[in-house]
Structure 1
């Protein structure tokens, strides 16, 4: 099933926690002159038009990136993230994960972008044109394992499927376990949704996946979570999280203030919660 199109959701609260974490991770990788590689398993179209019919139909960006851009921000990391977004927002555009990452690559860095959806891959090839990136029309779970370990061993992998089907949660878990066996030093970032009862049989599967991976793998794991409403509300997704393996030392301190600020800006009447919690710390 390949029905999910991110254009309906670009710039929402889930994108902001995901992309702020991604931005901060890449900033950390840039602190050393050594090259790094970025691998994106579910790249989507790369760049999204906030004035498009898809985006206007849901209007999710209005309670997401529009709020952030209109807010006064004192946290330095979040302010730098805002500055990275400003040229796009000025054109009514929003950069997806792979596009954001591609704008941050240095001459020595590389990116591998994967997308399976037949129309999204066409848009991705139109939107991302950089000699530092390689685009693959393939299944991201299969692709990241086939490409690992890469020649450049410093690297970051983003895994963020749409979770349309229950089996995707198990696919993520199996992929990450296999990936870290092949490439133990990889920084692996997994985005996951936090769902209400309206999501029926998928509610609780993210939390189960996070618990399974953090207890199975003997790897440092940091859970970053942001919800903008309580779980009794009549919407399917009230927030999301990023489960990070091999996150840089003290990365929680890098992003804690920014995540708190995002919660303050995006939450509905102060509802919801946030945390940056080590589930397993490095030795």
Structure 2
């Protein structure tokens, strides 16, 4: 259950979609001079290296960020956050979502990050020494339900499971509905893989039925290697902030032109 290691997949095309939309949402939220809460349920280690043995073994970063980085303008929040991380950690560094958030949030904002894997949680704490972040080694979905609504109530939650637990597809629509009932002003972003076997289909249908005004965005790309089941990436966003749908359309065009 705790075998998933994102180091093999960091900087892949799914990361590009997810992190570009996350950075866009946080950039919009931080324009207002009011504090916000950022919560993440499956935070990982926060910092990855694209020249690591794991990344080189799969080649997913070479097919991902290495091929599309120049499609993002220097002023894009995705580019700015990556630049802040590589300036500190070197050109081969790639931020996970916690470091994207840390690069864009302000001292007045709060971060609560859950990561159950002991080695990943330890690495995450080391990756965030300068930032005000509470790192919790606990089940992320339980954390999400117990800590909503956060204070301040204005904010965003990223739910980014590995889907190693196959029942996640069945229970996540209900969890997202409970979170929204408790925190109706919060932005809730759920990432999911698009798979050849369609395991995500019923979950996405249930979410769209429950939240007809949400942003539901999917991109497609070739499998990372022969026989690999992931052929795309999806992000479902409850209470999408202004401008996020425009960025989603731009990403759709980027992936279609890739």
Q: Same fold by TM (over 0.5)? A: yes
1:278 paired residue number:
none
1:104 paired residue number:
104
Q: Which runs of 5+ in 2 are unaligned?
A: none
Out of 178, 182, 198, the residue aligned to residue 204 of structure 1 is 198
1:184 paired residue number:
184
- Judging changes above 3 Å, is the alpha-carbon distance between structure 1 residues 151 and 158 closer, same or farther for their aligned structure 2 residues? same
Quote how far apart the aligned CAs of 1:118 are. 1.4
Quote how far apart the aligned CAs of 1:49 are. 1.4
Q: How does 1:234-245 map to 2 (within 5 A)?
A: 234-245=227-238
Distance 1:77 1:29 in 2: 19
Quote how far apart the aligned CAs of 1:129 are. 1.9
1:86 aligns with 2:83: yes
1:167 paired residue number:
167
Distance 2:15 2:50 in 1: 13
Q: Does structure 1 retain, via aligned residues, the 8 Å contact 2:28–2:242?
A: no
Q: Does structure 2 retain, via aligned residues, the 8 Å contact 1:10–1:94?
A: yes
1:31 aligns with 2:31: yes
- Judging changes above 3 Å, is the alpha-carbon distance between structure 1 residues 237 and 249 closer, same or farther for their aligned structure 2 residues? same
Q: Matched residue of 1:35: which SS?
A: coil
Q: Does structure 2 retain, via aligned residues, the 8 Å contact 1:10–1:48?
A: yes
The root-mean-square deviation of aligned C-alpha atoms, in Å, is 2.0
Q: Matched residue of 2:200: which SS?
A: helix
Quote how far apart the aligned CAs of 1:103 are. 1.1
Distance 1:165 1:120 in 2: 18
1:12 aligns with 2:12: yes
Quote how far apart the aligned CAs of 1:173 are. 1.9
1:138 paired residue number:
138
Larger mean Cα displacement after TM superposition, 52-61 or 2-11: 52-61
Distance 1:238 1:262 in 2: 12
2:209 paired residue number:
215
Quote how far apart the aligned CAs of 1:156 are. 0.4
Give the total of aligned pairs. 253
Q: Matched residue of 1:205: which SS?
A: coil
Q: Which runs of 5+ in 1 are unaligned?
A: 197-202, 266-283
Q: Does structure 2 retain, via aligned residues, the 8 Å contact 1:77–1:258?
A: no
Larger mean Cα displacement after TM superposition, 44-53 or 16-25: 44-53
Once the two structures are superposed, what CA deviation does each residue of 1:138-193 show, in whole Å capped at 9, x if it has no partner?
A: 00000011111112011100001001232011232222111111111110000010
Quote how far apart the aligned CAs of 1:249 are. 3.6
Distance 1:256 1:53 in 2: 34
Question: Under a length normalisation based on structure 2, what TM-score does the superposition of the two structures give?
Answer: 0.91
Q: Does structure 2 retain, via aligned residues, the 8 Å contact 1:24–1:77?
A: no
